[in-house]
Structure 1
Amino acid sequence: MENRVEDIGIKIYTATPQNDQTLYPSSPQSTIITTTEEGGRKRRAMAKGMQKTLSKTSMLVNFLPTGTLLTFEMLLPSVSGDGQCSPVSTLMIHALLGLCTLSCFFFHFTDSFKGPDGKVYYGFVTPKGLAVFRSGLGVEVPKDERYKVGFTDFVHAVMSVMVFTAVAFSDNRVTDCLFPGHVRDMDEVMESLPLMVGIICSGLFLVFPNTRYGIGCMAN
């Protein structure tokens, strides 16, 4: 009886790994795994760099007109030609930067008021007061002193241009086309430029607070 029990025993076999990478370091499977790991490292490095750029420039967005920044982000991919820096795309990038810079400067000289009918009317601040964009509105334009252009308006306009320059140059599609032979130098500059611009503009913003309710530049 004991002999029959011993004959019916169950044997468990452990399967040996078929492709041991330590024994076959040059096998196709190990090559695929190595390539996948390298691709994952590259993707993580790109994501880390993108996150680093966004973290540097996110604090600067508050100084920019919302419409200008949105226009720049929407037009840049088509203007830059997906990173192919041809003479035409470089010229178009220059034009886009110029238009957006003028927009940042111009919008800081706009203000608004609410009329008796509850509508908001926008205008351009001048030494004599607010000049509305449309004449014959049938409402009285305020003659307050705050609607006259002053030194603070120029300070905010210059700050907006500085911030837009820092945000625009943080994009590699811009710097690679405008400074083709100085990619490494621009990377070193952009490591600290957004932070420096943010600190300077934050200090000036405290000294010269914004009181305008202009186009895309709402007061805090």
Structure 2
Amino acid sequence: MAKPNYTLKDKTLNGLGNLIRLLPTGTVFIYQFLNPILTNNGHCTIINKYLSGILIALCGLSCGFSCFTDSYTDNEGTTHYGIATMKGLWPTSKSMDTSSYKISVGDFVHAFFTIVVFGVVTILDRNTVDCFFPAFESTEKMLIMVLPPVVGAISSVVFMVFPNKRHGIGYPSN
């Protein structure tokens, strides 16, 4: 069987698709929507800090959890979604063998770096910085300017070494 030739355009679009799958769009939207409310636009009281911290933690967990979800299409053409386990997908259809969907080291690597990238997104948010670190000096602002490209470069290399093979909830299987 001949191996298909992929053009630069195909590889670029595939890489862009993998980047989009890195952070669940719904999770980032919820964070961007609720964060100004919970941080009181950066003018936080102690309750705002707790609520914003809970939001960041829940969204980070959602990003990490999404790395362990997958989908498959059964013999009848129905798409099923599940959570990857040591034995395969759960829940699973009795008519389909899902043992090839077992958790791998790459899933944990993806989850870790997805959470790190979400952390960078939160640090780039002005309301979050003003809420948790109101006295940021110019030297610390340099960290915020340097951190995203560094994390992006490291994450890109790691995701090339551990390509994402999962089609999580909301992403169709090929």
TM-score grouping bracket, smaller chain normalisation: 0.7 to 0.9
**Equivalent residue for 1:178?**
132
Deviation at 1:139, TM superposition (A): 5.3
> How far 1:185 sits from its partner (Å)?
4.1
Aligned to 2:156: 202
Counterpart selection for 2:43 from 72, 84, 92:
84
Q: Report how far residue 205 of structure 1 moved.
A: 0.9
**2:22 counterpart residue number:** 63
Change (3 A) 1:85 1:121: same
Q: Structure 1 residues 194, 144: CA separation in 2 closer, same or farther (over 3 Å shift)?
A: same
Q: CA deviation at 1:182?
A: 2.5
Q: Which residue number in structure 1 is paired with residue 98 of structure 2?
A: 143
Higher CA-based Rg: 1
Ranges in structure 1 where 5+ consecutive residues have no aligned partner: 1-59
> Partners in 1 of 2:57 and 2:108 — Cα distance?
18
Structure 1 pair 92–84 and aligned structure 2 pair: CA distance change class (3 A): same
Tell whether 2:69 aligns with 1:117.
no
2:66 alignment partner in structure 1: 107
Gap runs ≥5 in structure 2: 1-18
CA drift of 1:99 comes to: 0.2
Which residue identity is paired with 1:128?
K
CA change 1:91–1:84 in 2 (3 A) is same
Offset at residue 151 of structure 1 (A): 0.2
User: Normalising to structure 1: TM-score of the pair?
Assistant: 0.65
Shift of 1:93: 0.8
Q: Is the 8 A contact 2:87 2:99 kept in 1?
A: no
Contact 2:73–2:173 under 8 Å retained in 1: no
Give 4+ residue runs of structure 1 displaced > 4 Å after superposition.
216-220
* Aligned residue pair count: 156
Residue 98 of structure 1 is matched in structure 2 by: 57
CA drift at 1:64 = 0.7
Q: What is the CA distance between 1:181 and its match in structure 2? A: 2.4
Scaled by the length of structure 2, the TM-score of the pair is 0.81
Alpha carbons of 1:83 and 1:61: their partners in 2 closer, same or farther (altered >3 Å)? farther
1:78, distance to aligned residue in structure 2 (A): 1.4
